[in-house]
Structure 1
Amino acid sequence: MRKLPNDTAGDLLTDVATDSAADKADGPIRRCILSGERAERGELIRLAIGPEGQVAPDVRARAPGRGAWIGVTRPELEDAIARGRMKAALARAFKTGPIVVPDDLPGMIEEALTRALLDRLGLEARSGTLLTGSDRIGEAARRGKVWMLLHSSDSSPDGNAKLDQAWRVGSDAEGSGQRGIVLPVDRTRLSVALGRDNAVHVALTDQRAAARIDQFLGRLLHFKGEGAVPGPGKAV
């Protein structure tokens, strides 16, 4: 996440998403209630609170009412929950009654981020902006038609390497180390999301579609503590 100028220690834990005029004036930038760092909404995770004070992930930022934002990794969140820092930060953010932080909140967030990514991939599949099948992907990659290459978690290293090499050739990036990204989902779950049989590899053939997937995948991998995702078509 990027730091914005004029950030002061006194307001690190006060940013809450509301529909107030001040919130609208602040634009799409939000502040993590744990780290104090600021970033665009799409890079953070929104948390909502239920009528009984229970906290739940709202990764699509659609739940009504107040919300709080976090941008930390899962290990950092787990540590904050264990130390009581998360509950205290939420209490300051929501300023309501008792706050209930589920023990499995980190797992709930990771699953919600994974579902959001798979749903987005499903939409791209229905709109015709992605390919599956090693032969089709390899041909498109060698012709320079692939913007992003993805592999399921249970794909074979040899199969990945062959498609990665085809992508480098078509991207005029031989020797760069450019390679596809291994997704944190297996072929079974990926196939269900795409509505296709045995989807082991996925190629995004549209630049804007690749950018959309890059955002969803980047947020998931950051939360898992696996670092940033290279942008579509960029070497790693």
Structure 2
Amino acid sequence: MTERKCILSSERDDPDALIRLAVGPEGQVLPDVRAKAPGRGAWIGVSRAELEQALAKGKLKGALARAFKTGELQIPDNLPDLIEEGLRRVLLDRLGLESRASMLLTGSEKIDVACRKGDVRLLLHASDAAADGNRKLDQALRVGQEAEGSDLAGVVLPVDRHALSMAMGRDNVVHIAVTDSRAASRLRAAIGRLESYLGCATGAPVHGEQDSAGALGA
């Protein structure tokens, strides 16, 4: 797909990095985070805080009216919540798919061993994981990636252990290791979209994957 322009910032980006809004049959504006709804769409690429400000000041209403060129639009007051829920669901669904495809490891001991062997492409921690547990696995990751002394670390997800456990159909999922580079890239994209929207993007790399310049690829 070609680039799309954010109706609020006017900046252009890949559709995978933006959020699509669609209009329902009764004129209600709803998030289409998977970009599959029929009909005309409008794209936004701003953070939740920026969206809330645009909603409060009426800027979003004007931008949507220009984008859709239709009758009266109904913009729900909880649109920012609906978008966050949609992006979180995309991430959790992706984790479930990768888990069923055996691309993920759970359990601190298994993850520690895989990290030290250099087999982990992406390390994830639940938002409510203990700091000590994170530090131990982060250190194991650095050992396996021959990056001791660096700030290389796993990604603390904006999702708690209960949500992770439900998504993956397992008990008490606190840490996740991704062992396949393609799965890691898919998850990184889903995580990045949610983090950008929440205003907490980490830009953490997929571990062990190098780009054409020889650096760790994002």
Classify the TM-score, shorter chain.
over 0.9
Give the C-alpha shift of residue 28 in structure 1: 2.6
Q: Which runs of 5+ in 2 are unaligned?
A: 208-215
Counterpart pick for 2:40 among 46, 51, 66? 66
Q: Which runs of 5+ in 1 are unaligned?
A: 1-26
Find the aligned partners of 1:128 and 1:82 in 2 and give their Cα distance: 44
Cα 1:30–1:235 change in 2 (3 A) is closer
Counterpart pick for 1:178 among 152, 155, 165? 152
Give the C-alpha shift of residue 176 in structure 1: 1.2
Report the counterpart of residue 116 of structure 1 in structure 2: 90
The 8 Å contact of residues 123 and 175 in structure 2, kept in 1 or not, is answered as: yes
Counterpart pick for 1:194 among 168, 171, 175? 168
Q: Which amino acid aligns with 1:35?
A: S
Q: Which amino acid aligns with 1:186?
A: D
5 Å-filtered alignment, 1:1-236, equals 27-233=1-207, 234=216
Give runs of ≥4 in structure 1 deviating > 2 Å: none
Find the aligned partners of 2:177 and 2:129 in 1 and give their Cα distance: 14
The 8 Å contact of residues 125 and 176 in structure 2, kept in 1 or not, is answered as: yes
Cα 1:190–1:134 change in 2 (3 A) is same
Give the C-alpha shift of residue 229 in structure 1: 2.3
Cα 1:165–1:188 change in 2 (3 A) is same
Find the aligned partners of 1:212 and 1:163 in 2 and give their Cα distance: 22
Give the SS at the match of 2:142.
helix
Give the SS at the match of 1:216.
helix
Q: Which amino acid aligns with 2:7?
A: I
Find the aligned partners of 2:201 and 2:103 in 1 and give their Cα distance: 26
Find the aligned partners of 1:51 and 1:235 in 2 and give their Cα distance: 42
RMSD of the TM alignment (CA)? 1.3
How many percent identity over aligned positions? 60
Deviations 1:47-76 (A, max 9, x none): 110011111110000111111000000000
Give the SS at the match of 1:150.
strand
Give the C-alpha shift of residue 231 in structure 1: 2.4
Q: Which amino acid aligns with 2:74?
A: V
Give the SS at the match of 2:172.
coil
Give the SS at the match of 2:20.
strand
Deviations 1:70-90 (A, max 9, x none): 000000000000110000000
The 8 Å contact of residues 44 and 70 in structure 1, kept in 2 or not, is answered as: yes
The 8 Å contact of residues 155 and 202 in structure 2, kept in 1 or not, is answered as: no
The 8 Å contact of residues 217 and 229 in structure 1, kept in 2 or not, is answered as: no
Give the SS at the match of 2:110.
helix
Find the aligned partners of 1:218 and 1:229 in 2 and give their Cα distance: 7
Q: Which amino acid aligns with 1:49?
A: V
Cα 1:154–1:139 change in 2 (3 A) is same
The 8 Å contact of residues 176 and 235 in structure 1, kept in 2 or not, is answered as: no
Give the SS at the match of 1:158.
helix
Query: What is the TM-score with the length of structure 2 in the denominator?
Result: 0.94
Query: What is the TM-score with the length of structure 1 in the denominator?
Result: 0.87
